[in-house]
Structure 1
Amino acid sequence: MPSRPWRPVLASATKCCAAEDAVVAAGTDKGLARCRPAGSELSRRLASFRRLSSLANSPASNMADSGGGNNNKDGEAGEMAGPLQLHSFSLSELRGVTHDFSSSYLLGEGGFGPVHKGFVDAGMRPGLEPQPVAVKKLSAGGFQGHREWLAEVIFLGQFRHPHLVRLLGYCCEDEERLLVYEFMPRGSLENHLFRRISATLPWGTRIKVAIAAAKGLAFLHGAGTPVIYRDFKASNILLDSDFTAKLSDFGLAKMGPEGEDTHVTTRVMGTHGYAAPEYVQTGHLNVKSDVYSFGVVLLELLTGRRAMEHVRGRTAHADQQLKLVDWTRPYLSGGSRRLRCIVDPRLAGHYSVKGARAVAQLAVQCTAAQPRDRPRMVAVVEALEKLQGLKDMAVTVGLWPANAPVAGRNAISAKFRADVKGVGAGGLSSRRRTASSKLP
């Protein structure tokens, strides 16, 4: 189950809401106030959305072709469609396509709420093709749920790009808030890297996923007014049947700075391990904050480890959370043999040596402490595209001996390598947890 969004309230960050516009939720044991819109404010937002959604009933296929869009050099185009080119669904219709939100159709659950699989018929809406869909339902009692739902509708209702998940429609009925997306059959990148639900992702597929995700971010950053994704992480990268990656979950997306402004100041929201340090400390947000998060995902693709891992000590008091950026840094600046110590052992040496070095160097640049030292996503895309098709596998150039243990702090035995080759995902998970517990 994906972790819920991390939402610390920092004294240095902008207040989450004004006193006159919100009520404070009681019962917080450490004095951290959590705010939700007052009834009048919620009504105002809903009325504003309904005025905006009056344009939403035109078929999603009738998008404007002449909107200001971005074109990648390889011909992939992104465009800004007309306002809210979405279908409006009733709650009864979505109950029908998901078999009354049956647990048998449950795909997962996150901070927003549960996601169910469904199927829409050709006759349900003009211009809507019959297809499987993912229906995300806002959990009752969510403090920021309506705001996140509305942001998702507004952003994905206007943007179209091959590497952004497509929002087909929404439901806004009484207190119910639902979103209907195209179905992504391979699930999230997080599942393939960490849940061991299938065979490990090959090196070439990892590069393909990284390029696609980078293109999605580059499109958002290159819009007329930049869009800051703010919650870039492995669980928000979804994969279709061909392992083409698309960004999902725009609930925390924010319009970027305009004119001479260098950042926007907002409340700190995101996920531990992925959030840029300057954003956590000051609440200052810009497109380079997304670049930092992308660098963390690059490290996850390279190492097969999570952005934050729980490390067990000899006693309960010695347990700690280890940040992947900090742990990998000593290995990223060394040579290929030093880098080998942190490469995902499930690859068993079937990775490009040159490619791994380049990914490591790019991750170092993306996770630089100062935002000005991080590259733009357009440059990241260009760097990653050069890594496709490299054939210098570690097992063929002698950097992953077939019968010798790997040296280093992250050493794995020859027996473990044999297990990686011969054991399925189910049998491997317990061994993987044992190896992870030995992190320094």
Structure 2
Amino acid sequence: MSSRVTVNSKLTVVSSKPVRAGNHTLSAVDRGMRPHTLHIILYYNNQERWFESFDLDPLRESLSKVLTLYPTVTGRLGPGLDGEWEVKCNDAGVRVLKATVHATLHQWLQTASGSEEKLLVSWDDMPHDPSTWSPFRIQINSFQGGGVAIGVSCSHMVADLTFVFSFLKSWTEVHRHMPITHPPLVAPLSLPLPNDVSLPRHANAASPINMGTASFKFSSSIIKQCLSKLHHACPNATPFDFLAALFWTRLASLKPPKTHHSLCICTDFRSVLKPSLPIGYFGNALHFSTLSHKAEDMQLGGIVSAVHTHLEGISDEQIWCGINKAYGEELTCVCMEHLVVVGKEGEDDCSLVYAAMFGNNQKPAHVSCRVGNVEGEGLIVVMPSSEGGFSRTVMVTLPEEQLVRLTRDEPILDLDPTMLLAACLLDH
């Protein structure tokens, strides 16, 4: 099938005012993310037609203005005097592409595959000499009928998902002439690491296993019902506890028999540290910890409780002990519950994931998150959904054979999820 995405133009957007030159040294956590990339896509219905022509558009003007506050985003990567990676704040700018999608937004979400969705984000792997290479890239995609998708890609070595979402929110706030809620903090992360700490080793990015991606959207009412049924096993279970346990147990049932099953859980440690780090902290604030269970104990209620207890027990001491861990060969599940704000009566009424609104109260219709170059058993990302409340979107990246079986798994389908970006898998 010919591509439905056509790139029309490429340009570099720089700060509207010159930024102060300087260098920002990356932390050990940042350097451990070197093999990986982040790709975020925000889909908008764009009912107010706030986007027309980016070449001479207020959207480009607001991007230039907000970049003045983010000198590390417009900088370039390179080795410092001590040989460690750093961002050179030289105001070299951000690569921006403009593309046309030959489908409506609704048609795209219903018929596109995970591999086709990659065309909505621009990325070139880091060259041997990264001095002119942009570690941040933005692609603005116009759909037929007015829909827009904004794709942001960056090297995982310079930022995590939380920072990227805070940057996107800042962009929309500048665009709407509002004060910035989460200003950036560019400061070195002081790590009390032992001298013999070693960064994680990663396999070659080229993998012989074909990986596929699909999104499962679960309604708020369904998640509330499931948590209610599990109240006796885990009274304070969160949507993440339940969905991490559900997908872990279901994937375990689809694999050859084992004596033990392991799940690596990725959490944000901004609020765990003392003193805490702000949402706008530039860099990576991710902690990876492993939960293992015997195969005979892989029952949903017990696993929900185990996940909840495991996360509650994470302390700043444990964070420093696990600072040299990252995405590995085992199944990894990313928790984004820290980006949810709890409203009245315990309902989740706000999320940083959906807070980037260019129009008046027009939040994204859907948000997609990917981590590049994750190998091994795959990745599960549990994130807030557009419905709000307890609704969640689960994005899974797995070996294609497993993913096809997962999309047909009855215990998951019984929860009536809406499946997006999995068209080719559902046709198998």
Q: Between Structure 1 and Structure 2, which shows a larger proportion of helix residues?
A: 1
Query: Shorter-chain TM-score: what band?
Result: under 0.3
TM-score (norm 1): 0.26
Larger radius of gyration: 1
TM-score (norm 2): 0.26
